[in-house]
Structure 1
Amino acid sequence: MNLGIVGQAIGLFAVTNIDDILVLALFFGQGAGHPGAARSIAIGQYLGFAAILGAAGAAAFGATFLPESAIPYLGLVPLLLGLRAAWAAWTDRTGIQDDDSEPAQDPPRALEVAGVTFANGGDNIGVYVPVFATAGIGGMSVYTVVFLVLVAVWLAAGRYFATRPIVARALSRWGHILMPVVLVGIGLAILIEGGAFGL
C-alpha cells in the first residue's frame, strides 16, 4: 500500500468532512438514552458515505448518476429534515427535562442520518471525482479503504464529544434547538453555495 496515497486520503477526508463531527455529536446527543440509537447512527453514516463514494467513483469513470447541476439540490434533504425537527420541537414544548426523565426527542433513524450525510457530502463528490479519476482503480481502492476506516474514527469522535459532561448537558438542554438550526443551516449553505434557485 502506497503510504503517500494513505496520507493524502487522510488529509482529504479530514478537510472535506470536518463539519460532520458536529452533526454526529448532535445525532448522538439526540439518541442518548435510546437503545440502538448509536447503531442506527453508525449504519446511517456508513450508508450515506458509501453513497458518496459510489457516486464519486461512478462519476470518475464516466457513469455519472447525478448531473452536476443537481448536486446543489441535495441541500433540500437536510433543510427538510431540519424543518421537520423544528416543527417537532415546536409542537413538543415540554420544557427542560430532569435527568431521570425519558428523552423527549425521537432517536435518529439510519435513513435520516444517511440522507444528511449524503446531502452534506454532496459537494465532496466534486472534490473526490478528479482525485479518483487520476488515482486509477488501485489508488481509488486505497482512498475508499482509508475513508471507510476514518468514518469509524469520526463516529467515535462524535460520540466522544456528545458524552462529555458539559457537552452532554448542553445537548440535552439545547439539542432539540441546535439540531434543526444546524440541519437548516447545512441545507441552505448547500443550496446557496451550489447556486440552486439562482441564489
Structure 2
Amino acid sequence: MNPGIIGQAVGLFAVTNIDDILVLALFFAQGAGHPGSSRRIATGQYLGFAAILAVAVAAAFGATFLPEKAIPYLGLLPLALGIKAAVQAWRHRGDSEEERGRADRGPKVLEVAAVTFANGGDNIGVYVPVFATAGVGGMSVFAVVFLILLAVWIAAGRYVATRPVIARALSRWGHILLPVVLIGIGSLILIEGGAFGL
C-alpha cells in the first residue's frame, strides 16, 4: 500500500470533515443519558458518510445519481431538522434540564445520516476528481482510510461532548446550540450553492 496515498487520504478527510466534530459533539450532548444514543449517532454518521462515498465513487466513474445543481438543495435537510429542533426547544423552554432530557429521546439514526450527508454534499465535489484520478485501487485506499478516520471523528466528537466543562455547557445550552448550528449549516449550504437564486 502506497504511504503517499494514505497521507493524501488522511489530509483530504481532515480538511473536508473538520466541521463534523462540532456537529457530532452536539449530537452526543443531545443523546447524553439516553441508552443506545452513541450507537445511533455512530450508525447515522456511517450511513450518511457511506452515501457521500457512494455518490462520489459513482460520479468518478461517470454516473451522476445526484446532479450538481441538486447539491445546494441538500441544505434543506439540516435546515428542516434545525427548525424541528428549535420548535422542540421552544416547546420545552420552561422545563428543567432533567425534564428536557426526558422529553428528548436523543438523535435518531436517519437524522444524523441526513445531516452528515447534507453537510458533506460539498465534499462530493472535492472527492470526485481525486477519485477519478486515483483509479480503482487508489479509490479503495481512500475509502478504507476515510471509514477508519470516521471512527476517530466519532470518538473525538464524543470526547469533546464529555469533557466536564463542555458537557455542562452543552447540557445547559445544547438544546439551543443544536438548532442554531443545523439551521446555520443548512442556510450556508443553500447560500453557497446558489439555491433558489440566493
Q: Normalized against structure 1, the TM-score is what?
A: 0.97
What is the Cα deviation at residue 159 of structure 1?
0.2
Q: Residue in 2 aligned with 1:84?
A: 84
Specify whether residues 80 and 102 from structure 1 end up closer, same or farther in structure 2 by C-alpha distance, changes over 3 A only: closer
Q: Residue in 1 aligned with 2:12?
A: 12
Q: Residue in 2 aligned with 1:138?
A: 137
Specify the SS of the correspondent of 2:97: coil
Q: Residue in 1 aligned with 2:122?
A: 123
Distance 2:105 2:176 in 1: 14
Specify whether residues 173 and 2 from structure 1 end up closer, same or farther in structure 2 by C-alpha distance, changes over 3 A only: same
Q: How does 1:1-199 map to 2 (within 5 A)?
A: 1-97=1-97, 102-199=101-198
Q: Normalized against structure 2, the TM-score is what?
A: 0.97
Alignment RMSD: 1.3
**Tell me, which stretches of 5 or more residues in structure 2 are unaligned?**
none
Asked whether the 8 Å contact 2:79–2:183 carries over to 1, the reply is yes
Asked whether the 8 Å contact 2:92–2:100 carries over to 1, the reply is no
Specify the SS of the correspondent of 1:38: helix
Task: Compare the two structures and name the one with the higher helix fraction.
Answer: 2
**1:69-96 Cα deviation digits (max 9, x unpaired):** 0000000000000000000111112344
**1:40-91 Cα deviation digits (max 9, x unpaired):** 0000000000000000000000111110000000000000000000001111
Asked whether the 8 Å contact 1:78–1:187 carries over to 2, the reply is yes
**Tell me, which stretches of 5 or more residues in structure 1 are unaligned?**
none
Distance 2:94 2:102 in 1: 11
Distance 1:135 1:101 in 2: 48
